[in-house]
Structure 1
C-alpha cells in the first residue's frame, strides 16, 4: 500500500488496521522545544482537514526528540542554505491501532514528520475524522537544499502572497525560498543609504503593473514566518546586469549610453551593466550588501545573480564576479550565482545555479524563437547559449557544487501542457507562461533525475541541491502565480527529497490527486489537469 505522501518517503511498511483521528484527540510533546511545532500542527490540521485536535495530557499523538531507527536512511547530500552542518531532517512516523508517534533527532526533523502526518490526516479526512492506515515511515531527504526561486521584481508580490508561497513550500518539505529581489523592472528591498532605490527603482514593474517594495519590518516578518516553518529565505541582488532599476535610481552608475531592446510585451531588455572599473560601482555594491545581509540572518548565502550580462566583455564580467565574491565573503557570507559565474575564477565555497540545460538548448525550435524575439536579440542569445554548454563542467572543475534548476523541468513560467477540466482555466492556460518555451506536462516534471540529467554530474555529492524557479513576465496576479506553481511545486519537491531516482507516473499521479484537498481548503488555485483524478 502506497501512502498518499509527497514527497515519497524513503521506507514505508503498512499493515492491516487503522487509527482514527478526530476532534479532541490529544497531542503530547516530550520536550519544550517542540511545543510551538505541535501548536502550529494543530492549527494546520484544523484548516486543512477541519479536525480540532488539542494539546492535552492524553497521548493519542506523541511527539518527541529521538533518533531510533533513523540510521536506516542515509544522511542527505548537498549544502544547506542556512549553513548548518549538523542539521538532521530524518524522522520516524508510526501509526498503530493505539496511537501515533512522531520523532526525530532535531526539532526540524520532527517538523518534517508532522508534515507527513498532516498530509495523511487531510488525505483520509471524511465527515470530521480521518481513519489512518497503520504504518511505519522512516524518511529523510536526498538533498539538503530544496528550494523555490520567486521573481518579485517583474511582478511585485506583497507579503500576504509570499506567506502563501512559504506555506506551499513547507507543505512539501522545501526549505529554501530564494527571493529574486532586483531586476530591470524593479528594486524590492530597502537600502537606507540609497533611498532612491525604493523611491524610484521600486516604482512600477513589468508593463503597467504596480510596483512596491518590502520595508525592513515586512522583510523581518517574512523571514521570521519562514524560519518558523524551517524555510530559509535567500536574497538575490542582480549584478552586474539586469540593473535598469538601479540606473533609473542612480543614473551616475550607468554607462554613458544605455542600450536596450524592446521585447514587445511591455518589457525591454537592457544591454548595459555595472562597470567593474569604476570605484562608485563598488561603493554602491558595498552599500547594498551592508543593508541587505542583516535582513536575512538565517541565510548563509547571498545570491549575486551574474547571469545575462549582455554586451559585457567576458574579462570584465569575470572581474566583476570575482570582486563581488570577495565583498560577500568579507561580510561572512557565501555566494550563490547563476551558472554564468562559473566563467570567472571561483572556489569550492561558491554555489553555481545551473539553469540553461543542454537538453533545452539542443531541442529549442530556433525558427519559433526567431518569430518571438526581436532580430537584434537573436545573435546575443545564440552567443549566450553557446557559452552555456561549458558552464556546468567548468564549475565542477573548480570544485563548486551545482544547484540544479534546469529550465526543462524546473522553470515554472513554462506554459502548462495538460488540459484543464475547468473551462475558465483553459483560457488562462493560453495566456500565462512564456511562449518561447514548449509547454510542459505535470508528468514531464517528475520523469527526470538531478544527477542523470545534469551534464558532468556523476554523483549526488556534486550537487548542492535542487531549486525550481518561477519568473513573472506573464504572471500578473496571485491567482496566476498559484496556477503556475501547483501542482508543479509538489513534483519539484519529489525530485529534491525522494530517494527514488525513477518516479512511476501512475503511482505518483495517485498520490498527487489526494493533495488537492489541502489546496482547496486553503483556497490555493491549481491547474485541474485532466490527467489527474483529483480528490
Structure 2
C-alpha cells in the first residue's frame, strides 16, 4: 500500500508547488494591527517612517546580541531595498534603533515598537524581545521586502506604537524527522519560518520505529543502522553531533529552544533492530518502513535497557542547552501498564539526573509524573472522558501541560478530503478549526496556570520535502502561534482571517508554498 501512497504524494507535489502571482509593494503603509500574531496593544497615529539610503540600524554599544539582531535585520532588508543599512552604535537622526532597557513590564520576550517621522525604535528588556520586535517590523513593511532581489519601494512603516508581550511562554512546533529524514538545511529553513511568527520552541522527534536520527557514540548502530531507512524504504539519514549542534545554534540565533525527543518505551523498532540485546528474546527484528504504530517495546525487566537509556540521555542532554528532554511515552500498546509505569519511573529519574526537565506525551499522566514534569496533550474530540480526566487530575497535582489537540493543532491532518498530503484519523482540519479554540478552557477542570502553552506537531508519514512541510504548516502554523502569543481579547476568527489573508503575499515573497484555503480572503498584494 505504501508505493501507491507515495506516488499520490509525489503527484500532489506538482499541484501544490504553484505559488501565487508575484507580490507588488503596497502603496500605503500597512496598519499596525495587521500583524500575526495579533499584538497585545496597538495605538496608531502620527507620521509614517520611510526607509531610505540614509537609514541606519542603531544598536546599544554594549550588547553583542543587539548587534547580532541588527545584522540579521540588515541581512533581511538589504537585498530587496538595495540600501546599505549600516549597523552602528553611533547616534543617527534617521533610522531603526534596537534598544535594551530595564523595563520589566516587557518581560523576557516582550517589546515596544514606536514609529514616527524620523525612524522606528524597538525597545525590549531582553534580546529575545528585540528579535520578536524585528519580526513585527518585517510585517509592517510591504511584502516585497522579503524578496532576495532589488524591488521597487516605497518602504514605509505607519506611525504609532505597539506594546506586545506573549500570553504563554511555550509556543512550539514539532517536526518529525524519524518517519522521513530532513537535512540540517531543511530544518533550518523551517526554523526561520517559525521565527517569523514568534514560535520559541522547536520539538524534534528524533526516534521512532522507522528511524533513529541522532548519533550516540556509546551505541553507534542506533544511527548508522537504525537511521538507514525511512517510510517507504528510502535511504533515511541521521544527524552527527556536529549536525545537531548546528541545528541548536541556528535555532538559538532565532531565539528558539530545541526540545529533543526520544520516544520510549514504544515506537522503538529502529533501536530494537540495531541492538538485539534490547529485545526480551535477544533477537533483533528487521528494520521497519511502514506506518503502523504500537507494536514495539523496549524490554522493561532487562538491566541493559536502563544502561542504554542512561547513555542516550547523557549524550543528548550534553548536546542540548535547553531545559527540556522529551521521552515520548505514547502508543505503548505492547507494554503492560505495570511495565509502563516502572519504565517511566526510571526514565524520568535518568532525565533528572542529567539536569533536564521531563516532557512526555499525555499518557505520562497515567504513570507517576515527577515534580516539574510537562505532559503534552494530543487528544481530540474522540478521546475518552476517562483519558482526559487523567490529564486533568495530573494537572491538579502540579503537572504542567502543553496543548496539541490532534484535531486542531496537528499540521499533518488533511485540510479536506482532496488534500494530496497528510492523514485524516483525527478528522479534517481546515484553517478556521485549527484557529478557533482557547487553550485555557480546552480541557475543563484544568487549574489556572497549568497550561504552559501550545505546540503544532507535524508528523511526516506522507511528507518528505520542504514543499510538503510548507503546504501542511501554512497557513495553520501562524494561527497556532497566535493562540500562544496573543491575548484572549484579540481572538476573533472574522478579524483573524483578514489579517491572515494579508500574509499571503508575504508567504509568496518568501517562497513558501502554502495552502490557499477558501476560508481566507487572500490579499492580492
Q: How would you bin the TM-score normalised by the shorter chain?
A: 0.7 to 0.9
Paired residues for 1:133-282 under 5 Å: 133-256=158-281, 266-282=290-306
Distance 2:53 2:361 in 1: 48
2:478 to 467, 490, 502: 490
1:46 to 47, 68, 78: 78
| CA distance 1:49–1:319, change in 2 (3 Å) | farther
Distance 2:79 2:385 in 1: 50
Listed one character per residue, the Cα deviations across residues 133-162 of structure 1 (whole Å, up to 9, x for unaligned) are: 111011100000110111000010111110
| CA distance 1:2–1:117, change in 2 (3 Å) | closer
1:61 aligned residue: 96
1:11 and 2:41 matched: yes
2:116 aligned residue: 96
SS at match of 2:49: strand
| CA distance 1:96–1:209, change in 2 (3 Å) | same
Distance 1:347 1:288 in 2: 20
1:447 aligned residue: 436
1:457 and 2:446 matched: yes
SS at match of 1:103: strand
Distance 1:213 1:113 in 2: 35
Whether the aligned pair in 2 keeps the contact of 1:146 and 1:467 (CA below 8 Å) is: yes
SS at match of 1:3: helix
Whether the aligned pair in 2 keeps the contact of 1:51 and 1:128 (CA below 8 Å) is: no
Listed one character per residue, the Cα deviations across residues 29-55 of structure 1 (whole Å, up to 9, x for unaligned) are: 123321111000111233577765332
Answer with 311-320 or 150-159: which moved more. 311-320
Listed one character per residue, the Cα deviations across residues 407-448 of structure 1 (whole Å, up to 9, x for unaligned) are: 121001110139xxxxxxxxxx53201032321111112211
Residue 25 of structure 1 deviates from its aligned partner by 1.2
> TM-score normalised to the size of structure 1?
0.85
| CA distance 1:436–1:140, change in 2 (3 Å) | same
| CA distance 1:526–1:201, change in 2 (3 Å) | same
SS at match of 1:252: helix
Residue 104 of structure 1 deviates from its aligned partner by 0.8
SS at match of 2:236: coil
Residue 20 of structure 1 deviates from its aligned partner by 1.1
Residue 287 of structure 1 deviates from its aligned partner by 1.2
CA RMSD of aligned residues (A): 2.4
Residue 395 of structure 1 deviates from its aligned partner by 1.7
Whether the aligned pair in 2 keeps the contact of 1:187 and 1:245 (CA below 8 Å) is: yes
Distance 2:80 2:496 in 1: 21
2:126 aligned residue: 106
SS at match of 2:309: helix
Residue 406 of structure 1 deviates from its aligned partner by 0.9
2:22 aligned residue: none
1:432 aligned residue: 421
| CA distance 1:316–1:413, change in 2 (3 Å) | same
1:35 and 2:67 matched: yes
Whether the aligned pair in 2 keeps the contact of 1:360 and 1:408 (CA below 8 Å) is: no
Residue 16 of structure 1 deviates from its aligned partner by 4.5
2:463 to 458, 464, 475: 475
| CA distance 1:215–1:185, change in 2 (3 Å) | same
> TM-score normalised to the size of structure 2?
0.87
| CA distance 1:510–1:211, change in 2 (3 Å) | same
Distance 1:23 1:445 in 2: 42
Which aligned runs of 4 or more in structure 1 are off by greater than 3 angstroms?
Answer: 46-52, 122-126, 257-260
Whether the aligned pair in 1 keeps the contact of 2:272 and 2:284 (CA below 8 Å) is: no
2:7 aligned residue: none
What is the number of residues matched between the two proteins? 483
Distance 2:517 2:84 in 1: 31
2:135 aligned residue: 115
Whether the aligned pair in 1 keeps the contact of 2:209 and 2:267 (CA below 8 Å) is: yes
| CA distance 1:247–1:386, change in 2 (3 Å) | farther
Answer with 266-275 or 336-345: which moved more. 266-275
Distance 1:14 1:348 in 2: 45
SS at match of 1:17: coil
2:13 aligned residue: none
Unaligned ranges ≥5, structure 1: 76-87, 362-384, 419-428
Residue 96 of structure 1 deviates from its aligned partner by 1.1
| CA distance 1:255–1:386, change in 2 (3 Å) | farther
1:355 and 2:387 matched: no
1:295 and 2:319 matched: yes
Distance 2:293 2:37 in 1: 38
Distance 1:305 1:325 in 2: 11
Distance 1:98 1:458 in 2: 47
SS at match of 2:496: helix
| CA distance 1:322–1:501, change in 2 (3 Å) | farther
| CA distance 1:124–1:209, change in 2 (3 Å) | closer
Unaligned ranges ≥5, structure 2: 1-30, 146-150
2:12 aligned residue: none
